[in-house]
């Protein structure tokens, strides 16, 4: 499954970068994530509750942040195993400054699904992924606006 999208934020690349690298913020704004804990440097364990059509359950996944180039790009490596199937994904996240106060975030990657996840509802999963990424971006925007508010 191909994952791709872009979103434009009214914030600098550095501001976005610091939010994305902050574990508490991430846990708060990532849809479905109920817990995020740090396992080591740039390694996290995430517990997520997901319900998509016939597929629902609690997932435990490992996240690895790789090839960090602050504040330009990093690769998020996701590995999740559960009874209803496994996900392995590599997603490259890039921040392109548009102006001082505007940054475009783009992500592009591939998720390999196996088991029940692969054979049931994969057609609707990319739609679900789109919805989730929109929710994420909205939450991130709110976070950025919130911190801008406290700063200003």
Partner 1 sequence: MTNYIGKAVKRVEDKRFITGKGRYTDDIVLPAMAHAYIVRSPYAHARIISVDTSAAEAMEGVIKVFTGKDIAASGINGIPTGWQVNFKNGETMKEPPHPLLVADKARYMGDAVAVVIAETKEIARDAGDIVEVEYEELPAVADAKKATEPGAPLVHDDAPNNLCFDWELGNPKAEVNEAMSKAHHITTLEFTNQRVIPNAIEPRSAIGHYEEANDKYTLYTTSQNPHLTRLLMCAFVLGIPEHKVRVVAPDVGGGFGSKIFHYAEEALMIWCSQRLKRPVKWTADRSEAFMTDAHGRDHVTKAEMGFDKEGKIVGLRVKTYANLGAYLSTFAPCVPTWLHGTLLQGLYTTPKINVDVTGVFTHTVMVDAYRGAGRPEATYLLERLIDTAALEMKMDPAQLRLKNFIPPFDGVKQPGYQTQVALQYDSGNYHGVLNRAMEMVGYEQFRKEQEAARKEGKLLGIGFSTYIEACGIAPSAVVGALGARAGLYEVGQVRVQPTGKVSVYTGAHSHGQGHETTFAQVVADRLGIPMDDVEIIHGDSESVAFGMGTYGSRSLAVGGSAIVKSLDKIIEKGAKIAAHKLEASEEDLEFAEGKWTVKGTDKSVGFGDVALTAYVPHNYPAGLEPGLDFSSFYDPANFTYPFGAHIAVVEVDKDTGKVALKRFIAVDDVGNVINPMIVDGQIHGGLAQGIGQALFEGALYDDNGQLINGSYMDYTMPRADDLPSFELDRQVTPCPHNPLGVKGAGEAGTIGSTPAVVNAVMDALSPFGIKNLEMPLTPERVWRAMNS
User: Which parts of this chain interact with partner 1 (CB under 8 A)?
Assistant: 53-54, 83, 85-86, 112-116, 118-124
97 vs 121 by CB, closer to partner 1 = 121
Task: Tell me which DSSP letter residue 139 carries.
Answer: H
Q: 79 vs 101, which CB is nearer to partner 1?
A: 79
Of 25 and 82, which CB lies nearer to partner 1 in the complex structure?
82
Sequence-distant (6+) residues with CB within 8 A of 105 are 6, 7, 8, 9, 16, 93, 94, 95, 96, 137
Q: Is residue 51 within 8 Å of residue 59, measured between CB atoms? A: no
Closest distance to partner 1 from the beta carbon of 34 (Å): 21
Q: Measured from the CB atom, is 120 or 147 closer to partner 1?
A: 120
The minimum distance between CB 30 and partner 1, in angstroms, equals: 25
Q: How far is the CB of 4 from partner 1 (least distance, A)?
A: 17
Nearest to 33 by CA among 53, 56, 61: 61
Residue identified by tokens 């508010």 is 149
């Amino acid at each position: 499954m191909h994952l791709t999208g872009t979103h434009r934020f009214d914030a600098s690349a550095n501001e976005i970068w610091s939010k994305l690298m902050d574990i508490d913020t991430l846990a708060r704004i990532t849809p479905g994530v109920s817990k995020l804990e740090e396992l080591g440097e740039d390694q996290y364990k995430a517990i997520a509750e997901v319900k998509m059509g016939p597929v629902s359950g609690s997932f435990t996944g490992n996240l690895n942040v790789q090839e960090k180039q602050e504040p330009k790009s990093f690769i998020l490596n996701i590995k999740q195993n559960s009874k209803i199937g496994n996900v392995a994904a590599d997603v490259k996240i890039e921040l392109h400054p548009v102006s001082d106060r505007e940054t475009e975030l783009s992500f592009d990657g591939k998720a390999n699904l196996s088991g029940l996840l692969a054979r049931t509802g994969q057609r609707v999963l990319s739609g679900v992924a789109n919805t989730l990424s929109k929710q994420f971006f909205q939450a991130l925007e709110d976070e950025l606006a919130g911190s801008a508010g406290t700063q200003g």
